[in-house]
Structures are given as C-alpha cells and as structure tokens.
Amino acid sequence: MGIIKNAIPILEFDTEQTAVISPVHENLQLNLPKKCVFAFLGNCIDEYADKSDTKQVSSFISVTKSYPIYVTKYKGEKIVLCQAPVGAAAATQILDWLIGYGVCEIISAGSCGALEYFEEGTFLVPAKALRDEGTSYHYAPPSRFMETNERARMAIEKTLVQHNMKYQEVITWSTDGFFRETKEKVEYRKKEGCAVVEMECSALSACAAFRKVIWGMILYTADSLADVERYDERHWGGNADEYALTLCLDAVLEI
C-alpha cells in the first residue's frame, strides 16, 4: 500500500516493512533467546546481572550511552535482560533492535504517574494506551488508542495472582511532554478514562504489533497528579522497581 498521506506529517503512515536502515544493519553475529525483559528499572538489571547466573552478550550503542544486553538463566530458561531508556523514541529503537536479533516474547515494567488516587507502589496492567507521543505513528495507522497484547496481559495477570497480588487493568496516557502535562490536559485525559500517565507504552505496543511479536507491560505508581492543584512526587515508587523485575521474569515465562 505504501504511504498513507496526510497534511499533518505525524498522521501519515507507511505500510512498508523494510526501511533504508534495518534494525540489524550492523549484521552482528547475535542470536538472542526469544524471551526478554526490557524494563525501565534504573540500575536494577545491572545489579541483578552482577549477582546472578547472567552474562553480557552484546551492547546497544547509542550516542548517549551503551546499553548492556544480558542473557540470564532463570528457572531453567534463558532470558534476555536489557535496561530500557526513558522516552518512546529511544525505547522503541532498542526494542526494534532486540526483535531484529531474535526476541519475540517481551515483558516491560516501569513507573507511572497516578491520575487517580492510587497508593504509591500499586501495580497495574495497561490494557490500552492513549497515543500522545510520536513514535507509535511510525508503526501503526493513526488512532486514539493502542491496545496491548492480550496474551501478554494474561501472562502478567496470572503472575500477579501467583504472587498473591491484587491488580487492575487500566488505560494509560503515553506522552512525550513530561513538562507539558497541564491541568486542563490532565483533567481531559482523566475524563477519557486514563488512570495513569507514562511515556512509552503506546509506542512499544505499536512496534511489537508491527513486528508481530508479543509484548506486555507492568506499571507501578510513583508520583501523583491526582490532585492537579498539588503535584506530589512522593518517593518515585520507592523500592517497587526491585519487585517489578521479579514479576517481569516470572511473567515472561508464562507467555
């Protein structure tokens, strides 16, 4: 079909799968295991790698930094581990690269801002994401929302039940504009049903769907925008990131 044109560039979509620069254009001798944890968890992945049966097998090299690509042995199965960078464009670039080198069952995790009155560190499962970022429009035709993969959601929810945790499916607002979450826009998104806000979910979901792989996400609440008159940083999720990594590892085995 090719390019679906529009007067507004972000609303154009090209159906062509092959691009000038392929995710595997370096032709690395790298064949990654199919299961992957690609998570926004600070130093947790590096710390886990240091104290477990984990080896670094490659790196994704960007201008900002190099991201180690690990393979760990968890409950008898090999799983790729990689830290995800904040922001839809950067995160999706690495996800597309990982998919190119073999991963096809991926679980991500990261913090989100609460738009409703959730306690800090509450774990949530995004069922769909409002596409208020630019990257997803390069992987899926224009739409207001991007649904997450059902198979991945079921694996995540099964894992949460196994951990004796309550969970809730939510709609998340994925935005590129961290400092552009105005009072009016927050209220607007809440009226649309968005319970939390983050920066990558819709883009990662679109990329995975375009590449025909399974991807899902675990969110945990950090700061709160529930009261637009009094923003509360709280403790940015506290120690929830450490537990989130365990949930990711267990969930990816359930896919």
- The confidence score (pLDDT) of residue 50 equals 96
Phi, psi of 135 (to 5 degrees): -65, -40
Question: What single-letter DSSP state applies at residue 137?
Answer: G
Question: What single-letter DSSP state applies at residue 20?
Answer: S
All structural domains of the chain: 30-254 (3.40.50.1580)
- The confidence score (pLDDT) of residue 171 equals 98
Pairing assessment for the beta strands 105-114 and 35-39 based on DSSP bridges:
parallel
Q: How far apart are CA 212 and CA 185, in angstroms?
A: 33
- 72 touches 48 (CB < 8 A): yes
Answer yes or no: is pLDDT of 218 > 90: yes
- The confidence score (pLDDT) of residue 15 equals 94
Q: How confident is the model at residue 207 (pLDDT cuts 50, 70, 90)?
A: very high
Q: How far apart are CA 32 and CA 100, in angstroms?
A: 9
**What average pLDDT does the segment 58-77 reach?**
96
Number of H helices and number of E strands within the chain? 6, 12
Q: How confident is the model at residue 237 (pLDDT cuts 50, 70, 90)?
A: confident
- 27: exposed, middle or buried (C-beta count within 10 Å: 0-12, 13-18, 19+)? exposed
**Residue given tokens 């991807």 in the structure block:** 215
User: Which residues, other chains included, contact 98 with Cβ-Cβ below 8 Å and sequence gap of 6+?
Assistant: 32, 36, 38, 60, 69, 80, 82, 106
pLDDT digits 0-9 by tens, 2-15: 899 999 999 999 99
Q: How far apart are CA 22 and CA 28, in angstroms?
A: 12
Answer yes or no: is pLDDT of 1 > 80: no
pLDDT digits 0-9 by tens, 117-161: 999 999 999 999 999 999 999 999 999 999 999 999 999 999 999
Q: How far apart are CA 159 and CA 153, in angstroms?
A: 10
Answer yes or no: is pLDDT of 239 > 90: no
- The confidence score (pLDDT) of residue 2 equals 85
Q: How confident is the model at residue 46 (pLDDT cuts 50, 70, 90)?
A: very high
**What average pLDDT does the segment 71-92 reach?**
98
Q: How confident is the model at residue 236 (pLDDT cuts 50, 70, 90)?
A: confident
Answer yes or no: pTM beyond 0.95: yes
122, amino acid identity: T
